[in-house]
């Protein structure tokens, strides 16, 4: 049994953990929107105005704070006017990025805002800069948010929505260094400035504008963007980083069939998020020392080869305890960088990449990744506090334990992932600045390749975790190998 020391100082506050760090991303890709979220009003699957009731309930349970839509690469080919009005007359288009399938636009602006209202989360729109026009994006904002008399507000009313919606988060383009136009940073920065000028704050609505940021460790992109963005032009800069186990995009590795070595390599790669946030943060600090521009990690997660027999363009993959550990480590990293990271959106919500939920017909499966979001939900809106972990190495490659701590309403939440495949670890959490009185917890623990599927949806589930002692301000408990724990510590 290993021993791990976690040193927490509740008086040393990093900042507030934006609830939006626990966001999701949903794209018109494979079976994410259609089948996964939207089945249409005439479906036998229980739904409200075409939106699956089971999905809404599952997202409510993890307190999903924000949902990004409609892409991804799809966003820079999306023309929002094709997705409003009478469904039967909506334009059909080719989804060129994702399998060349027909997109019938039956899920559009009204349906997306309805989805967010049903869940109780904030909408985050990715606007089309790559193949759209400034006017098209400006009109979308007017359509959604303007309360007065104007052509777009009138059109919205004709389509059945009298009052405007509230829209805060607006991305202006997606991956414009790649699928969003293959632009150079200098060119995109100018385009961004032009587009954002015409995205107005109407009727008391205030936009939080997010510029396209770097791909992984493209430090140069961040440098150019920061040089050219004043905090009056943008409030956020995005970052995309996918964990690809092999590092080879042509043969990424299997989601469910992997060796221990491949597992540790996946973890090593995912922990690179720490370096990315630190170094992009340092570049941003030089231009924006007051941290008025937030980092928005609006695509992150594991990207494997698609499941055998599935459409290669649909990016459907299973999700194991490995993914749970990846999610747990990334969320701990985001918590500890909450002074710069203001939002993160796992890719993706349903049936795509590191999905939080999988569906098959009327069936729905909550993945191990979903359960991590459930375990961590009390961090949302809490104060992130100093948390240092003194831990052994695992697999010769990574620190065995990853942890983060936060305080909200006099209650501390400590989340701990034991990434070792071999050793349980006895944790002693030494807490300064907080009189720990009692503690209890919840635990997600299963073999590394364990997963939930439609035959066995309850293989990997959260269990109560009660073997926790609190003595002289120290909280002690043992986290088994390959497990994620959330410990709630009550103060005196
Ligand atoms: O999430 C899948 C794709 O990955 C997104 O469409 C794109 O932004 C990224 O390359």
Dist CA 369 CA 322 (whole Å): 9
How many structural domains compose the chain? 2
- Domain identity same for 375 and 449: no
404 falls within a domain: yes
Q: Active site residue: 77, 103, 142, 175, which one? A: 175
Q: Contact at 8 Å (CB) between 55 and 374? A: no
Distance 72 CA to ligand 1 centre (A): 5
Which pLDDT belongs to residue 367? 98
Residue 265 Cβ contacting ligand 1 at under 6 Å: no
Q: Is the predicted pLDDT of residue 232 greater than 80, yes or no?
A: no
- Domain identity same for 283 and 389: no
Residue 130 Cβ contacting ligand 1 at under 6 Å: no
Q: How far is CA 356 from the centre of its chain?
A: 10
Pocket test for ligand 1, best of 29, 299, 300, 350 (most atoms within 8 A of CB): 299
- Domain identity same for 309 and 453: no
- Domain identity same for 358 and 399: no
- Domain identity same for 153 and 183: yes
Distance 189 CA to ligand 1 centre (A): 20
Residue 270 Cβ contacting ligand 1 at under 6 Å: no
Dist CA 240 CA 301 (whole Å): 9
* Residue with CA at minimum distance from ligand 1 atom 5: 72
Q: Is cis: bond before 348, omega within 30 of 0? A: yes
Residue 349 Cβ contacting ligand 1 at under 6 Å: no
Distance 144 CA to ligand 1 centre (A): 25
Residue 299 Cβ contacting ligand 1 at under 6 Å: yes
329 falls within a domain: yes
What value, to the nearest 5°, has the Cα angle with vertex 140 and ends 135 and 146?
Answer: 110
What does the pLDDT look like over 37-48, one tens digit per residue?
Answer: 999 999 999 999
Which domain-ending residue is among 321, 354, 380?
Answer: 380
What does the pLDDT look like over 165-177, one tens digit per residue?
Answer: 999 999 999 999 9
- Domain identity same for 417 and 371: no
What does the pLDDT look like over 413-465, one tens digit per residue?
Answer: 999 999 999 999 999 999 999 999 999 999 999 999 999 999 999 999 999 99
Residue 175 Cβ contacting ligand 1 at under 6 Å: yes
What does the pLDDT look like over 88-108, one tens digit per residue?
Answer: 999 999 999 999 999 999 999
- Domain identity same for 255 and 156: yes
- Domain identity same for 134 and 228: yes
Which pLDDT belongs to residue 119? 98
Q: Contact at 8 Å (CB) between 22 and 373? A: yes
- Taking residues 329-335, report their average pLDDT: 98
Q: 121, 112, 118: which is closest to 140 by C-alpha?
A: 112
Residue 301 Cβ contacting ligand 1 at under 6 Å: no
Tell me, what CATH number does 100's domain have?
3.20.20.80
Q: Is the predicted pLDDT of residue 380 greater than 80, yes or no?
A: yes
Phi-psi region of 2 (alpha: psi -120 to 50; beta: other; left: phi over 0): beta
Tell me, what CATH number does 420's domain have?
2.60.40.1180
- Domain identity same for 226 and 256: yes
- Domain identity same for 192 and 298: yes
Q: Contact at 8 Å (CB) between 82 and 108? A: yes
Q: Contact at 8 Å (CB) between 335 and 21? A: yes
Which atom of ligand 1 lies nearest, measured to the CA of 242?
4
13 falls within a domain: no
- Which segments of 348-400 are extended strands (E)? 357-360, 363-366, 383-390, 393-394, 398-399
99 CB-near residues (< 8 Å, 6+ apart): 30, 311, 312, 313, 314
- Domain identity same for 185 and 321: yes
Annotated active-site residue 422? The verdict is: no
Which atom of ligand 1 lies nearest, measured to the CA of 72?
6
Distance 237 CA to ligand 1 centre (A): 16
Residue 27 Cβ contacting ligand 1 at under 6 Å: yes
Which pLDDT belongs to residue 264? 98
- Domain identity same for 362 and 408: no
Residue 173 Cβ contacting ligand 1 at under 6 Å: no
Q: Is the predicted pLDDT of residue 345 greater than 80, yes or no?
A: yes
Dist CA 95 CA 313 (whole Å): 10
Dist CA 70 CA 138 (whole Å): 17
What does the pLDDT look like over 182-210, one tens digit per residue?
Answer: 999 999 999 999 999 999 999 999 999 99
374 falls within a domain: yes
Phi-psi region of 175 (alpha: psi -120 to 50; beta: other; left: phi over 0): left
Pocket test for ligand 1, best of 26, 71, 249 (most atoms within 8 A of CB): 71
112 CB-near residues (< 8 Å, 6+ apart): 69, 70, 123
Range of the domain at 75: 18-380
Instruction: Express as a percent the part of the chain with pLDDT over 70.
Output: 100
Q: Active site residue: 2, 27, 111, 299, which one? A: 299
70 falls within a domain: yes
Dist CA 301 CA 242 (whole Å): 5
- Taking residues 225-242, report their average pLDDT: 92
Q: What is the pTM of this model?
A: 0.97
212 falls within a domain: yes
**In the numeric block, which tokens belong to residue 455?**
């035959």
Q: Is the predicted pLDDT of residue 83 greater than 80, yes or no?
A: yes
345 falls within a domain: yes
Which pLDDT belongs to residue 135? 98
* Residue with CA at minimum distance from ligand 1 atom 3: 72
- Spell 88-127 as b/e; 16+ CB within 10 A means b: eebeebebebbeebebebbbbbbbbbbbbebbebbbbbbb
Residue 354 Cβ contacting ligand 1 at under 6 Å: no
Distance 140 CA to ligand 1 centre (A): 22
Distance 73 CA to ligand 1 centre (A): 6
Which domain-ending residue is among 380, 402, 421?
Answer: 380
Which domain-ending residue is among 348, 380, 412?
Answer: 380
* Residue with CA at minimum distance from ligand 1 atom 4: 72
23-25 vs 169-172, strand pairing mode: unpaired
How far is CA 433 from each of CA 7, 8, 10, 13, 90, rounded to the nearest angstrom?
11, 8, 5, 11, 59
170 falls within a domain: yes
Annotated active-site residue 186? The verdict is: no
Q: For residue 238, what is the DSSP state?
A: E
Mean pLDDT of the chain: 97
Which pLDDT belongs to residue 31? 98
């Amino acid at each position: 049994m290993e021993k791990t020391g976690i040193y927490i100082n509740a008086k040393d506050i990093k900042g507030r953990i934006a609830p939006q760090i626990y966001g999701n991303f949903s794209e018109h890709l494979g079976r994410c929107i259609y089948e996964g979220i939207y089945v249409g009003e005439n479906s036998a699957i229980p739904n409200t105005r075409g939106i699956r009731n089971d999905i809404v309930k599952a997202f409510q349970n993890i307190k999903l704070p924000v949902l990004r839509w409609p892409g991804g690469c799809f966003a820079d080919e999306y023309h929002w006017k094709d997705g409003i009005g009478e469904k039967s007359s909506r334009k059909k288009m080719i989804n060129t990025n994702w399998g060349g399938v027909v997109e019938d636009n039956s899920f559009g602006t009204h349906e997306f805002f309805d989805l967010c209202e049903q869940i109780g989360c904030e909408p985050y729109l990715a606007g089309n800069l790559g193949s759209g026009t400034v006017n098209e994006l400006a009109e979308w904002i007017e359509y959604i948010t303007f309360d007065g008399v104007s052509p777009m507000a009138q059109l919205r009313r004709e389509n059945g929505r009298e009052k405007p919606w509230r829209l805060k988060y607006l991305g202006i383009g997606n991956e414009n260094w790649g699928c969003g136009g293959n632009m150079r940073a200098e060119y995109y920065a100018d385009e961004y400035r032009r587009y954002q000028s015409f995205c107005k704050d109407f009727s008391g609505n205030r936009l939080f504008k997010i510029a396209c940021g770097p791909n992984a460790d493209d430090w140069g992109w961040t440098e150019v963007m920061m040089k050219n963005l004043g905090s009056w032009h943008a409030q956020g800069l995005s970052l995309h980083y996918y964990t690809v186990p092999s590092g080879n995009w042509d043969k990424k590795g299997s989601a469910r069939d992997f060796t221990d070595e491949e597992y540790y390599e996946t973890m090593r790669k995912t922990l690179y998020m720490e370096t990315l946030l630190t170094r992009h943060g340092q570049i941003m600090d030089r231009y924006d020392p007051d941290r008025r521009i937030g980092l928005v990690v609006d695509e992150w997660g594991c990207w494997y080869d698609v499941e055998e027999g599935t459409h290669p363009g649909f990016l459907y993959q299973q999700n194991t305890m490995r993914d749970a550990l990846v999610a747990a480590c990334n969320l701990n990293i985001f918590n500890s960088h909450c002074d710069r990271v203001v939002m993160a959106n796992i890719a993706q919500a349903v049936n795509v990449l590191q999905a939080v939920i999988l569906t098959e017909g009327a069936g729905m499966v909550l993945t191990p990744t979903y359960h991590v979001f459930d375990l961590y939900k009390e961090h949302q809106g809490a104060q992130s506090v100093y948390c240092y972990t003194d831990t052994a190495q695992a697999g010769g490659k990574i620190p065995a334990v990853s942890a983060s701590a936060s305080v909200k309403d006099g209650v501390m939440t400590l989340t701990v992932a034991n990434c070792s495949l071999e050793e349980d670890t006895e944790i002693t959490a030494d807490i300064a600045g907080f009189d720990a009185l009692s503690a209890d917890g919840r635990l997600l623990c299963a073999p590394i390749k364990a997963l939930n599927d439609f035959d066995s949806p309850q293989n990997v589930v959260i269990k109560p975790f009660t073997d926790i002692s609190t003595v002289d301000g120290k909280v002690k408990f043992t986290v088994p190998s390959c497990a994620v724990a959330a410990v709630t510590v009550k103060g005196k």
